[in-house]
Amino acid sequence: MKRGPFVKAFAVVGTALVIVPVAAVIASAIPLMTQSGSAFDWMTPAEYAPIALVGGVLLLGCALMARDRMGLVITGNALSFGVLIAGLVVARVTGLATGQREAEGLVWALVAASIAIYGIGLLVLIAAGMLLTRDLFHAPTSER
């Protein structure tokens, strides 16, 4: 089990990077609450996916090195990025991504659901990152 300073630093940075899409949604929603007639951009979390992906990879590496919280980190990564990529492929193949198809029906519902599941996966990853970071910093003295 590796619990050195780099593993700890990568766990903190990975968790922070996974928080970015959620924080962006909250930060963009606050001004919208005071404005009437403004629309919420529900695709904002997906636009920050590359940042969260780097964080997810860092958390996966830390979990594997520390041999801790691996299942939760893998589940969060699979939920987040596996489902999001599948939704993006569906949007591209059906023409929804290019505008050849109207945003309605089952295809649109599948793509919207993939973004919602991606958000749930991000929350799982955030929890996993926080638990992993806590475990790394509060390891028993004999393991340090």
pLDDT on residue 76: 92
Distance CA 88, CA 19 (A): 21
* Containing structural domain, residue 57: 5-143
Q: Is 84:110 a contact under the CB 8 Å cutoff? A: no
What is the pLDDT at residue 3?
Answer: 79
Q: Give residue 61's pLDDT.
A: 94
- On the question of pLDDT at 142 being above 50, the answer is yes
Tally of domains in the chain: 1
